């Protein structure tokens, strides 16, 4: 018998523990910059993406759930940030087992979010303001309430049977696969109707689609074409490396699982034999026909494999985001427990610098520190105490908006929103937290330890309602919000931030504008890490055509100094998160400074 706890943990650990793979560029990559190189100009390289969790942005009808009308009514605010693209988490019909990541109809809008007419208005209003819309594409799996699955499960001879992965029970139990949001940790669920098991890498409400079936692929491409014809500007592709699997389902031994999470991904779970063939087919049949952008959620991808998704010559996708950065600082072998010692800045620098070098000659990277699957940026990577919250939040935003790679900026981070840190399991809404709690409970595990860990790492921390003002529900809803509003809305909110000239909000607007004004350097310029062993300060230069900028970031609560070895006598300070910047390379707690050198 395998230990269920460990099995369920496996799936998440697999994405958390992304082993640093060999980073030697291939010979092909070393060839001098071509038209497909990183300085080849594209709108999606110059853009700042703002991710909105629609359920928590703005409710318009008092049911406590954010919706499209509400979102549309707030587009002037979005525009005021200077961002170019909005990525929306899934808004399709869904029974919401996993907040929209379980789609029951790809061609309709989730009832709670509104109607297709509301969508059309929202898209038109975005485009009117020069904002592009990127939708979430969830096609590794759909909902068990999707018509395809209803048909598929109804009989072994149904024409939709092969839209999913079935294992007839007369063959015995299928080889173990993890099901990440399941109380028993299993990725196969027995369905008595046809005496078979079906595969689901997430909850049993999210059956995995069978991409080996050409009809499935054609259905998905046709659906994507319909959305592009409606005018959407791109897709963020949920767990796209998982679509192709080894469908012989070889046994993964307990030993292998224990010793080699990442290997299990590569060999068994995702990155299957036809992955890139399918992505190239998708590119031919859909993506190549439109001026759009694509982003792979690169679960399980490494520095060695990322280029396979985004090398322009391969004609697959434009960008990918990795998990190596956000995996730093967790304790190995435990479910999302942070190392109480915190994370190493030297390791942080190494990860982001390593990923920059992957795309030094070809392809294009991305940069993010928070999203709907991660805790709040300032709690996780900065310091959410009243003393340091604003400074550290500004410092982290400075990092995001001065690195090479398209920034994916998570809504609310411009306000320095923090983790809500629920004490009680009853306050959580996320299937991941609820089912892991139930699993630990059923095994007699340490529930308090689990809850303590979730205060830092739970996904619900970043899903609480957006804080517009200091009123009871922060201006999010007139009803009862689907998840609690953070009490600190009294100080952290848009209304207060608009009035305060030193707010994080105004600072982020300046950063977004600076990235545009200095596009040659801050978007396309070369990145060089300096002073890499410095445990407190992250410093780097960006440069292009003899023009150079220096970015100094203090990640600690104490004063610290950078040692860049550069002559700063003629350097001009362009932006600093303290009202009066200190001189030279000295930095106060969480100070961020951008300098122009030439």
Which of ligand TEU, Ca ion, none interacts with 287 (beta carbon under 5 to 8 A by kind)?
none
By CB under 5 A, residue 478 contacts Ca ion = no
CB atoms within 10 A of CB 41: 9
Residues 555-584 within binding reach of ligand TEU (CB under 6 A): none
> Are the C-beta atoms of residues 359 and 365 closer than 8 Å to each other?
yes
In the set 61, 162, 260, 280, which binds Ca ion (CB under 5 A)? 61
Non-local (6+) Cβ contacts of 162 within 8 A are 152, 210, 212, 213, 215
Kindly report the length of the chain: 598
Burial class (CB in 10 A: 0-12, 13-18, 19+), 172: exposed
Contact yes or no for 440/5 (Cβ under 8 A): yes
Which is nearer to Ca ion, 59 or 460 (by Cβ)?
Answer: 59
Give the residue with the Cβ less far from Ca ion, 57 or 399.
57
Considering the candidates 118, 233, 238, 432, report the single residue annotated as catalytic. Answer: 238
Q: Is 521 in the site for ligand TEU (CB under 6 A)?
A: no
459 binds, among ligand TEU, Ca ion, none (CB under 5 to 8 A by kind): ligand TEU
The answer to whether 18 and 208 are in contact (CB under 8 A) is no
Residues 49 and 233 sit within 8 Å (Cβ to Cβ):
no
Q: What CA–CA distances, in Å, run from 510 to 81, 83, 367, 502?
A: 9, 11, 18, 11
CB of 368 to ligand TEU, least distance (A): 12
Cα Dmax for the chain: 78
- Which of 213, 28, 53, 83 is CA-nearest to residue 139? 213
The interface with ligand TEU within residues 392-451 (CB under 6 A) comprises 432
31, containing H or E segment: none
| Total number of residues that touch ligand TEU (CB under 6 A) | 15
Examine residue 238 and tell whether it contacts ligand TEU (CB under 6 A). yes
Half-sphere exposure of residue 21: CA atoms within 13 angstroms, side-chain side = 16
Nearer to ligand TEU, 377 or 594 (CB): 377
Closest CA to 563 of 532, 598, 597, 528: 532
Report the residue closest to Ca ion, judged by CB.
67
Give me the DSSP letters along 438-455: HHHHHTT--HHHHHHHHH
What are the phi and psi torsion angles at 188 (to 5°)? Answer: -115, 140
Q: CA-CA distance, 494 to 475, in Å (whole number)?
A: 10
Query: Using CB under 6 A, which of 202, 261, 265, 330 touches ligand TEU?
Result: 202
Among 52, 65, 71, 400, binds Ca ion (CB under 5 A): 65
Note whether 311 binds ligand TEU by CB under 6 A. Answer: no
User: Closest CB to Ca ion among 301 and 477?
Assistant: 477
Residue number, 299 or 523, with CB nearest to ligand TEU: 299
Query: What string marks each residue from 20 to 59 as x (binds Ca ion by CB under 5 A) or -?
Result: ---------------------------------------x
373 binds ligand TEU (CB under 6 A): yes
> According to the binding rule CB under 6 A, does residue 15 interact with ligand TEU?
yes
Residue of the chain from 322, 349, 459, 542 that contacts ligand TEU (CB under 6 A):
459
Site for ligand TEU in 31-90 (CB under 6 A): none
* Catalytic residue flag (residue 108): no
CB of 168 to ligand TEU, least distance (A): 26
63 binds, among ligand TEU, Ca ion, none (CB under 5 to 8 A by kind): Ca ion
Question: In angstroms, what is the minimal distance from the CB of 479 to Ca ion?
Answer: 8
Contacted by 59, from ligand TEU, Ca ion, none: CB < 5 to 8 Å by type: Ca ion
Tell me how far apart the alpha carbons of residues 484 and 353 are, in angstroms, rounded to a whole number.
Answer: 38
Reply yes or no on whether 277 is catalytic.
Answer: no
Q: Are 317 and 406 in contact (CB under 8 A)?
A: no
Query: Closest Cα to residue 397, out of 553, 191, 235?
Result: 553
63 binds Ca ion, rule: CB under 5 A: yes
Q: Exactly one of 68, 131, 135, 138 binds ligand TEU (CB under 6 A); which one?
A: 138
Contact residue for ligand TEU among 53, 101, 113, 540 (CB under 6 A): 101
CB of 233 to Ca ion, least distance (A): 25
- Residue nearer to Ca ion on the CB measure, 93 or 140: 93
426: burial class by Cβ within 10 Å (0-12, 13-18, 19+)? exposed
Provide DSSP, 228-282: HHHT--EEEETTGGGSS--TT-PPPPHHHHHH-HHHHIIIIISS-TTHHHHHHHH
115 binds Ca ion (CB under 5 A): no
Q: Considering CB distances under 5 to 8 angstroms, the limit depending on partner class, which of ligand TEU, Ca ion, none binds residue 67? A: Ca ion
290/468 Cα distance (integer angstroms): 36
**Which one of residues 51, 67, 207, 270 is an interface residue with Ca ion (CB under 5 A)?**
67
Find the shortest distance in angstroms from Cβ 265 to ligand TEU.
Answer: 10
From the list 59, 144, 266, 297, the catalytic residue is 297
Query: Is 98 among the residues that bind ligand TEU (CB under 6 A)?
Result: yes
- What does the angle CA 380 – CA 384 – CA 390 come to, to the nearest 5 degrees? 115
Positions touching Ca ion (CB under 5 A) are 59, 61, 63, 65, 67
Positions touching ligand TEU (CB under 6 A) are 12, 15, 98, 101, 138, 180, 202, 238-239, 297, 299, 372-373, 432, 459
Enzyme catalytic residues: 238, 297
């Amino acid at each position: 018998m395998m230990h269920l706890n460990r099995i369920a943990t496996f799936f998440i650990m697999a994405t958390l523990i992304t082993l640093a793979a060999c980073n030697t560029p291939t010979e092909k990559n070393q060839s001098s910059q071509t038209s497909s190189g990183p300085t080849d100009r594209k709108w999606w390289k110059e853009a700042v993406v703002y991710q909105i969790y629609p359920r928590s942005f703005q409710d318009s009808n008092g049911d406590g759930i954010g919706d499209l009308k509400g979102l549309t009514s707030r587009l002037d605010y979005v525009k005021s940030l200077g961002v170019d693209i909005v990525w929306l988490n899934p808004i399709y019909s869904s029974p919401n087992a996993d907040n929209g990541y379980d789609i029951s109809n790809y061609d309709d809008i989730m009832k709670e979010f509104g109607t297709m007419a509301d969508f059309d208005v929202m898209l038109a209003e975005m485009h009117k303001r020069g904002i592009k819309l990127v939708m979430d594409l969830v096609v590794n799996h759909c909902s068990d309430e999707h018509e395809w699955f209803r048909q598929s499960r109804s009989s072994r001879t149904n024409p939709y049977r092969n839209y999913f992965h079935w294992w007839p029970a007369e063959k015995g139990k299928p080889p173990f696969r993890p099901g990440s949001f399941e109380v028993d940790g299993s990725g196969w669920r027995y369905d008595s109707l046809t005496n078979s098991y079906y595969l689901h890498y997430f909850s049993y409400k999210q059956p995995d689609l069978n991409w080996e079936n050409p009809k499935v692929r054609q259905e998905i491409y046709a659906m994507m074409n319909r959305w592009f014809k409606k005018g959407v500007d791109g897709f963020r592709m949920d767990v796209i490396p998982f679509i192709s699997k080894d469908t012989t389902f070889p046994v993964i031994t307990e030993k292998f699982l224990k010793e080699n999470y990442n290997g299990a991904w590569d060999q068994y779970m995702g990155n299957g034999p036809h992955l890139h063939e399918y992505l190239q087919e998708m590119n031919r049949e859909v993506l190549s026909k439109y001026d759009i952008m694509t982003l792979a959620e690169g679960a399980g991808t490494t520095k060695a494999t990322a280029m396979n998704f985004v090398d322009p010559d391969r004609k697959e996708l434009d960008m990918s985001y990795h998990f190596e950065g956000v995996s730093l600082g967790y304790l190995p072998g435990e479910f999302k427990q942070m190392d109480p010692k915190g994370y190493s800045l030297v390791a942080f620098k190494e990860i982001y610098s390593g990923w920059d070098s992957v795309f030094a000659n070809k392809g294009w990277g991305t940069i993010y520190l928070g999203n709907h699957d991660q805790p709040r940026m300032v709690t996780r990577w900065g310091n959410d105490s009243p003393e340091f919250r604003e400074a550290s939040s500004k410092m982290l935003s400075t990092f995001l908006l001065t690195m090479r790679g398209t920034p994916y900026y998570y809504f609310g981070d411009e306000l320095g929103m923090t983790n809500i840190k629920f004490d009680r399991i009853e306050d959580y809404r996320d299937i991941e937290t609820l089912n892991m709690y139930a699993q630990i409970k059923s095994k007699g595990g340490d529930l308090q330890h689990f809850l303590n860990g979730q205060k830092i790492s739970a996904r619900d921390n970043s899903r609480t309602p957006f804080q517009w003002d200091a009123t009871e529900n922060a201006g999010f809803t007139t009803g009862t919000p689907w998840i609690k509003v953070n009490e600190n809305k009294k100080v952290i909110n848009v209304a207060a931030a608009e009035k305060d000239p030193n707010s994080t909000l105004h600072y982020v607007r300046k950063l977004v504008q600076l990235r545009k004004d200095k596009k040659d350097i801050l978007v396309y310029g070369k990145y060089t890490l300096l002073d890499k062993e410095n445990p407190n300060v992250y410093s780097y230069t960006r440069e292009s055509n003899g023009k150079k900028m220096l970015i100094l970031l203090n990640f600690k609560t104490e004063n610290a100094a950078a040692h860049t070895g550069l002559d700063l006598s003629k350097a001009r300070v362009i932006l600093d998160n303290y009202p009066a910047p200190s001189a030279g390379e000295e930095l106060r707690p969480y100070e961020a400074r951008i300098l122009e050198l030439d």
